[in-house]
């Protein structure tokens, strides 16, 4: 039976097959154990590094493969099929690397990107604080220039790979009186004096990923660690999130596909009233909705990623859409998968229980889906103010 053809190139198909092989052979067999033990997946990180996947989005000049947002989405979707906690660790390193790629000086790129591309050092992104989640302009972490150094003070909260990563891109206030224009981006390295880490957070899902506070206590870093220009911090943060959000949508697609496959397999095997439950129209309708919404989400993510790679300038709305729709879909698909499995679906013996727990965070991190609706709403309001309705 025909499948949707996304006309992947030979190189793109190779990326899919490579990520799929790691997902099925390395991730799936250990995902339940990693989740139960809340264990950081260092062995799988090494496998991903050996496969050169950490360098997918990084130019060849810095040791990467020079691919784009689309290829990242292909890899993330396949890895997420296995476990989104592992995949989030992989994606978080790209989130920390994007600011250096987009706004770093030549010296900064040459210093940091080869290590990130090879997977020798993980990177992470530090924006969120206790009182600055959706309202990112409310951050309180400060950076003060003292002689030839910057001195950072404050705390970043819920940082993925906190304590495990070696390279952090941090947004801090350098001029409180300028509001959002008073924020600047910095590169902070593990081992810099004054950088500490909080306890590992215990979470409902995503338990194999590490989430910690970053604590800056008179953290002193060299003057040349500023990313971009002073006062450009929020622009860097927003551009970074815009580039990363289609990848979160791809993670939603991969997770939902895995949940659908488990539900379909069970529906064909489970016998009730003398026949498989797959023969019941109620189950068929649930599976039909799932597979249709998964394909629609995949098509949206791929189209937006390709638009970004084609050189689109302002893609905040499209990027928000590419995260919003697939992640809401993934939450529903995993919930429906648990429902189809019934009591078994609620047990840890079956993977859909973990998938449903994991799915929730996709609607929260890298911009809650409510904030993304704001982004989309403000964008369409601006568009129609310019061109008028119906034009």
Spot the catalytic one: 78, 164, 213, 366.
366
Distances (CA, A) of 140 to 165, 167, 173, 224, 227: 23, 21, 7, 22, 19
If residue 170 lies in a helix (H) or strand (E), which one and from where to where? strand 167-173
Query: Distance (Å, rounded) from C-alpha 288 to C-alpha 280?
Result: 12
E strand or H helix at 321: helix 316-341
Residue 114 CB contacts under 8 Å (≥ 6 apart), including other chains: 62, 63
For residues 215 and 97, the answer to whether their CB atoms sit within 8 Å is: no
- Reduced to 3 states (helix: H, G, I; strand: E, B; else coil), residue 58 is coil
Spatial separation of the C-alpha atoms in residues 346 and 114, rounded to whole Å: 44
Q: Which residues have CB under 8 Å from 9's CB, separation 6+?
A: none
Determine the Cα angle at 221 with ends 150 and 129, to 5°. Answer: 75
Question: Is 295 designated active site?
Answer: no
Return the SS3 of 68.
coil
Q: Which amino acids are annotated catalytic?
A: 366
């Amino acid at each position: 039976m025909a499948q949707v053809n996304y006309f992947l190139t030979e190189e793109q198909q190779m990326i899919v097959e490579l990520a799929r092989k790691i997902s099925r052979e390395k991730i799936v067999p250990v995902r339940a154990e990693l989740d139960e033990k809340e264990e950081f997946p260092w062995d799988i990180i090494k496998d991903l590094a050996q496969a050169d996947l950490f360098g997918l989005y990084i130019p060849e000049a810095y040791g990467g493969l020079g691919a784009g947002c689309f290829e990242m989405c292909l890899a993330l979707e396949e890895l997420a099929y296995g476990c989104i906690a592992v995949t989030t660790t992989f994606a978080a390193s790209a989130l920390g690397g994007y600011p250096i790629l987009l706004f770093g000086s030549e010296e900064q790129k040459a210093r940091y990107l080869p290590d990130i591309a090879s997977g020798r050092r993980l990177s992470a992104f530090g924006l969120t604080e206790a009182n600055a989640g959706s309202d990112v302009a409310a951050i309180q972490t400060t950076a003060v220039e003292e002689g030839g150094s910057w001195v950072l003070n404050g705390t970043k909260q819920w940082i993925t790979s906190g304590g495990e990563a070696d390279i952090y891109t941090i947004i801090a206030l350098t001029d409180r009186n300028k509001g959002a224009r008073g924020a600047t981006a910095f590169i902070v390295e593990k081992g810099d004096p004054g950088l500490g880490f909080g306890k590992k957070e215990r979470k409902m899902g995503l338990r194999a990923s590490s989430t910690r506070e970053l604590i800056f206590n008179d953290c002193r870093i060299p003057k040349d660690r500023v990313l971009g220009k002073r006062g450009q911090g929020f622009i860097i943060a927003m551009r970074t999130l815009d580039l990363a959000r289609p990848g979160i949508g791809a993670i939603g697609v991969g997770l939902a596909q895995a949940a659908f496959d488990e539900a379909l397999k069970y529906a064909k095997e489970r016998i009730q009233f003398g026949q498989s439950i797959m023969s019941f129209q109620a189950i068929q309708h649930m599976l039909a909705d799932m597979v249709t919404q998964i394909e629609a989400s995949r098509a949206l993510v791929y189209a937006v990623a390709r638009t970004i790679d084609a050189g689109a300038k302002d893609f905040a709305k499209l990027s928000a859409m590419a995260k919003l729709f697939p992640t809401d879909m993934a939450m529903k698909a995993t919930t429906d998968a648990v429902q189809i499995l019934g009591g078994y679906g609620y047990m840890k013996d079956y993977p859909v229980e973990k998938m449903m727990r994991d799915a929730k965070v996709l609607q929260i991190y890298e911009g809650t889906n409510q904030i993304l609706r704001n982004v989309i709403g403000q964008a369409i309001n601006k568009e129609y103010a310019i061109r008028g309705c119906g034009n």
